[in-house]
Structure 1
């Protein structure tokens, strides 16, 4: 049986410029989530735990209108961007 890692796209930024982008690790993190390894998924890409709820709220709000959808989307988007930037900086430092 073949691993899901063989189907992952390579990071174009890393191939062209030699360093990881802010999205590096997202595919592996999703793969780890599907395999039930939540701690490793968080260590790989911490923002995955805000990206998934953000995507779910956006998709649901397209079909079902609810009162605080825009506020929830805004808060999750801000949290996601903050986590991505902070984790990228921490990765570069350590």
Structure 2
């Protein structure tokens, strides 16, 4: 696995920490574990699949769908990061 530069330099997880491990769990068929490792993994996967399909097939309002998926994915990423940092902070103090 590639090391997280943010965690290496500052000792704090970034918003993407866990993505590689969650993707590996997905490829192994451990779907629940992948979600617990990184909750946004399924939205990211759906977004990538949608973007790839949209390269060849144009949908009505595809721009709005892309923006909505990006905002939803970013919101889940930020929310899960805040929850993780909250729990980490309270476990160490």
Aligned mate of 1:37, from 12, 23, 30 = 30
Counterparts of 1:71 and 1:32, CA distance in 2:
31
Task: Tell whether 2:19 aligns with 1:26.
Answer: yes
The residue that corresponds to 1:14 in the other structure is 7
The residue that corresponds to 2:85 in the other structure is 92
SS in 1 for 2:15: coil
RMSD: 0.9
Aligned mate of 2:39, from 30, 43, 46 = 46
Counterparts of 1:47 and 1:59, CA distance in 2:
18
Aligned length: 87
Contact 1:33/1:41 (8 A) holds in 2:
yes
Q: Specify every segment of 5 or more residues in structure 1 that has no aligned partner in the other structure, as ranges.
A: 1-7
What is the deviation of 1:71?
Answer: 2.1
The residue that corresponds to 2:69 in the other structure is 76
Q: Specify every segment of 5 or more residues in structure 2 that has no aligned partner in the other structure, as ranges.
A: 88-93
